[in-house]
């Protein structure tokens, strides 16, 4: 159950920015930009799960896709330490993902894979499961013929599907099984990093638990590293070693799971955690009801993006952008008042069962 | 919901007024109701809703019995396809027919000492239309698809008020603005003239709630009202619903798959699985002493924010296709405690503790 991440950093992201242009007028001039991801810093250690949470429109999916260069980042650096591309000599090779050439990028794709949210629209309905899962092997010329069939059978077995499922089509499967197919397709290349983009959000609760357990088992078995993107805090807390909270294109807080929930340092984290409905009739919490909606990422508020909804906001919050800084123990936060505020943790949380990476 | 709120032109209004006078349904008597169940507002007995499909009949709701008491909130929990929404549509007379039909059972709606069986009323008839959207209102999951995009939200709220309360347009508009203010929409005088696309998801759901409450219903059916919303917006809407429930004194049937929402909202809980109620109890009992293996399985399969991290215990397998339901207990193929009898005999819903019933052979009983 407990995964032990090593100290080696697998992925290092600095200042990642993705602005989508908004074009208007007869000449389609760029009039504004949707600041979907607005300068985020994070790193992921080998073998760990970094959770990325936030509400819809906060940029978490764009962040995940920019890291894989499924969308081209506007700015920033992404360094990935590939074992496979170091060649037979062993060790790792540092790859610059943002400036990688087409060939390098294709090679990188073997090491960096993605599991999509919607198992209904992310599988080609006209391909059999065997063809879907085996396609990456063809594209990357990693296995052909009987060898390919064998690798597909093996990976289907690993995700809990049967060899006879290879000949069937996606519509013949339930949502949970389709998500297993998506996972098998991501894992068939034996990647190092898997970006899981809301992998259980479309599933019923009883199936969700099956898929979460499967992801944990696969991580242990294959030494996978996950970037786990989700909006459900309970799920993220369950699966992550460390958690990053995003708001309006920025990471506002990043810390080990225990620290984040026991000692939140950003008012948005506090509000987010307190808003989660807890399946416990007698659970009482001072629910912090945030006023209003998330502002538009086209024109985010000046200063701290959260200040119009923050109950602790002071003058400086509306003028100066807070620096994203380490408070110690790798607890990163972007808040002017992080040192002085004492925020509400979740109650009754029994401490550490997942390794605190900073301890 | 649109069909019942269609274009309230003036001739229609006059017609409605005449009908109202002749309709005894609109005049509840002053006596207090049934002495047996003094506070029961809605009693559903053995309700069966079936859909005729090409390859056979799907029993979406397969013998459901429960009671909603006045001013109480009943939470209905279940996974997709368990029949929780179809049950609600049956109460509203909105089961599309064909292919759907209420094959059996009663939906007894008590007003004063008068009892109406909603299952027997013609869905498009006068009596049903006088109840639907007026005494029983519904909030749908997706506020974007259940609001009409070509009418302003004010117009859509006014429709219900004009139709059911026979108010003049000016008066109805004033009432619509008041309702929007009530549900916490800022600048209601301006918002009343906006179209659904101009509102955010949370605001749209507030507008839906305003519409549903505009006629002061006895019963409000909320079908996954916060599922499409972000967690901080969900918290806003849930807080609003809790406040309004006290103010309007309406009973609520709250349908959701989120056990966390149920724990915070419901007085009583009914757990549905494959078209049946498998367990019903007060909310604390359901969470602290669940009896049915399915309820227990659900509790173990959700990651908790408050408890320490432990491996989840999922329910094995998947929900069977309702057109191919097992002959005995619907949960038998996935149940960790299944017995021989479960394969062949359907367990009845019976009391296992005071006010707590479960449909499971583990608790004895006969067919």
For tokens 């659904």, the residue is B196
Interface touch A290/B235, C-beta < 8 Å: yes
pLDDT number for residue A347 = 66
DSSP 8-class letter at B364: -
Interface of A with B in 213-242 (CB under 8 A): 213, 216, 231, 233-235, 237-239
> Which among B234, B264, B314 is the nearest to A210, CB-wise?
B314
Higher pLDDT, B325 or A330: A330
Burial class of A4 by CB neighbour count within 10 A (0 to 12, 13 to 18, 19+): exposed
In chain B, which residue's Cα lies nearest the Cα of A177? B318
The torsion defined by the Cα of A321, A327, A331 and A335, in degrees rounded to 10, comes to -20
Q: Cα B363 to the chain's mean position, in Å?
A: 29
CA distances from B44 to A176, B66, B91, B104, B117 (A): 33, 5, 9, 11, 9
Q: Cα A74 to the chain's mean position, in Å?
A: 19
Judged by a CB distance cut-off of 8 A, whether residue B233 touches chain A is yes
Q: What is the mean pLDDT of residues B198-206?
A: 87
Flag whether the pTM goes above 0.95: no
β-strand A112-115 against A193-197: which pairing, if any? parallel
CA distances from B79 to A275, A298, B238, B256 (A): 23, 37, 20, 8
Q: Rounded CA gap, B146 and B139, in Å?
A: 9
Judged by a CB distance cut-off of 8 A, whether residue A286 touches chain B is no
DSSP A90-112: -S-EEEESTT--HHHHHHHHTTE
Q: What is the mean pLDDT of residues B136-149?
A: 86
Q: What is the mean pLDDT of residues B4-24?
A: 38
The torsion defined by the Cα of B286, B225, B161 and B31, in degrees rounded to 10, comes to 0
Interface touch A205/B261, C-beta < 8 Å: no
Interface touch B307/A348, C-beta < 8 Å: yes
Helix, strand, coil: what percent of chain B each, to 5?
A: 40, 25, 40
Interface touch B314/A279, C-beta < 8 Å: no
Min Cα separation B229/chain A (Å) = 9
Higher pLDDT, B326 or A86: B326
pLDDT number for residue B227 = 84
Interface touch A205/B79, C-beta < 8 Å: yes
Which of A77-91, A123-137, B39-53, B73-87 is the least confident region?
A: A77-91
- Over pLDDT 90: what percentage of chain B? 54
Angle at B296 between CA B345 and CA B81, to 5 degrees: 65
Q: Give chain A's residues under pLDDT 50.
A: 1-2, 349-359
Coil, strand, or helix at residue B355? coil
Which of A206-215, B128-137, B208-217, B318-327 is the least confident region?
A: B318-327
DSSP 8-class letter at A87: G
Angle between helices B231-248 and B201-213 (to 10 degrees): 10
pLDDT number for residue A288 = 86
pLDDT number for residue B26 = 39
Q: Which residues contact B19 (CB under 8 A, 6 or more apart)?
A: B126
């Amino acid at each position: 159950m407990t995964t032990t991440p090593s100290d080696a950093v697998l992925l290092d992201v600095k200042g990642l920015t993705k602005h989508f242009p908004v074009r208007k007028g007869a000449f389609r001039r760029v009039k504004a930009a949707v600041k979907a991801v607005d300068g985020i810093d994070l790193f992921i250690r080998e073998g760990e799960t970094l959770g990325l949470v936030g509400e819809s429109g906060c940029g978490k999916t764009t962040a995940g896709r920019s890291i894989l260069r499924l969308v081209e980042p506007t700015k920033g650096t992404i360094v990935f330490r590939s074992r496979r591309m170091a060649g037979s000599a062993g060790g790792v090779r540092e790859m610059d993902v943002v400036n990688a050439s087409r060939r390098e990028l294709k090679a990188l794709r073997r090491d960096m894979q993605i599991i999509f949210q919607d198992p209904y629209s992310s599988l080609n309905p006209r391909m059999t499961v065997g063809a879907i899962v085996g396609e990456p092997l063809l594209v990357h010329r990693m296995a052909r013929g009987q060898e390919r069939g064998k690798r597909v059978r093996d990976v289907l077995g690993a995700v809990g599907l049967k060899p006879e499922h290879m000949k069937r089509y996606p519509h013949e499967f339930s949502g949970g099984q389709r998500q297993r197919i998506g996972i098998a397709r991501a894992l068939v290349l034996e990647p190092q990093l898997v970006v899981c983009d809301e992998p259980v959000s479309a599933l019923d609760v009883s199936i969700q638990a099956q898929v979460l357990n499967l992801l944990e088992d696969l991580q242990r078995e294959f030494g996978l590293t996950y970037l786990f993107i989700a909006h459900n805090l309970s799920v993220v807390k369950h699966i992550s070693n460390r958690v990053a909270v995003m708001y309006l294109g920025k990471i506002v807080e990043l810390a080990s799971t225990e620290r984040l929930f026991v000692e939140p340092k950003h008012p948005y984290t506090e509000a987010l955690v307190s808003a989660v409905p807890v399946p416990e009739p007698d659970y009482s919490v001072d629910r912090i009801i945030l006023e209003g909606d998330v502002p538009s990422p086209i024109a985010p508020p000046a200063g701290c993006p959260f200040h119009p909804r923050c109950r602790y906001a002071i003058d400086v919050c509306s003028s100066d952008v807070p620096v994203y800084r380490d408070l110690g123990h790798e607890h990163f936060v972007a808040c002017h008042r992080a040192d002085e505020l004492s925020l509400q943790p979740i109650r009754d949380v029994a401490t550490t069962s997942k390794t605190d990476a900073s301890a | 919901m649109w069909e019942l709120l269609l274009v309230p032109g003036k001739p229609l209004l006059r017609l409605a007024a005449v009908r109202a006078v002749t309709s005894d349904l609109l005049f509840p008597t002053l006596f207090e109701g049934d002495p047996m169940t003094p506070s029961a507002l809605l009693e559903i007995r053995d309700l069966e809703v079936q859909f005729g499909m090409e390859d056979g009949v799907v029993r979406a709701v397969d013998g459901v019995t429960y009671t909603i008491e006045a001013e109480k909130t009943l939470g209905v929990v279940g996974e997709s396809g368990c029949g929780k929404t179809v049950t609600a549509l049956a109460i509203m007379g909105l089961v599309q027919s064909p292919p759907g039909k209420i094959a059996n059972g009663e939906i007894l709606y008590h007003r004063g000492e008068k009892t109406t069986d909603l299952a027997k009323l013609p869905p498009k008839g006068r009596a049903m239309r006088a109840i639907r959207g007026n005494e029983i209102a519904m909030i749908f999951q997706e506020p974007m698809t259940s609001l009409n995009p070509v009418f302003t939200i004010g117009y859509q709220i006014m429709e219900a008020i004009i139709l059911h309360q026979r108010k003049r347009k000016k008066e109805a508009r004033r009432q619509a603005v008041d309702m929007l203010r009530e549900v916490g929409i800022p600048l209601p005088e301006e918002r009343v003239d906006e179209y659904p696309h101009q509102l955010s998801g949370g605001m749209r759901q507030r507008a839906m709630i305003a519409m549903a409450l505009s006629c002061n219903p006895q019963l409000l059916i909320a079908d996954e009202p916060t599922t499409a919303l972000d967690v901080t917006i969900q918290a806003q809407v849930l807080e609003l619903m809790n406040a309004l429930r006290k103010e309007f004194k309406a009973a609520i049937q709250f349908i959701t798959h989120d056990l966390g929402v149920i724990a915070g909202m419901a007085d009583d809980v009914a757990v549905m699985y494959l078209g049946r109620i498998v367990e019903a109890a007060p909310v604390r009992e359901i969470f602290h002493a669940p009896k049915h293996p399915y309820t227990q399985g659900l509790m173990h399969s959700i990651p908790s924010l408050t408890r320490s991290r432990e491996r989840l215990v999922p329910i094995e397998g998947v929900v069977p296709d309702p057109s191919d339901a097992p002959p005995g207990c619907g949960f038998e193929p996935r149940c960790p405690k299944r017995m021989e009898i479960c394969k062949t005999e359907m367990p009845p819903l019976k009391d296992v503790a005071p006010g707590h019933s479960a449909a499971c052979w583990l608790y004895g009983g006969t067919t």
